[in-house]
Amino acid sequence: MVHVGEYGAVNTPDDGFLITTTENIPGHEVSQVYGEVFGLTVRARNVGSDIGAGLKSLAGGELKGLTKALVMAREQAVQRMMEQAKTVGANAVVMMRFDVGEARGIGTEVCAYGTAVTVVKT
């Protein structure tokens, strides 16, 4: 499981699965490459949150409710990516990235993607 804080996440799964934005993992060697994996989630907008965000935007400052929602969406996307990687036999994902976009004007799409690999300690 990915551990999520209030406004951010630390990708340290309990089972030793590794996720990194780098190509290499210090102290490890890639022994097998499985290819691209991804996790996707689409979150619908909340009318109440949109109204609150609109009012907050007049005064300026962080939209904490929207920040929390995006953090949770990213965490779910990472979890789904990790599950997909495990199904092909990987124990790590390297070169992990996020892509965020609008989903038909009614929500936000968050995709976590990377390369599923097996790594061994060197």
Alpha-carbon distances of 102 from 3, 68, 83, 107, 111, rounded to whole Å:
26, 17, 24, 6, 11
- Reduced to 3 states (helix: H, G, I; strand: E, B; else coil), residue 15 is coil
pLDDT in tens, 66-101: 788 888 899 999 999 999 999 999 999 999 999 999
Tell me the domains of the chain and their CATH numbers: 3-121 (3.30.110.70)
Q: What is the pLDDT of residues 29-58, one digit of tens each?
A: 999 999 999 999 998 866 555 555 555 566
* Residue 72 to residue 113: CA distance in whole angstroms: 16
pTM of the model: 0.80
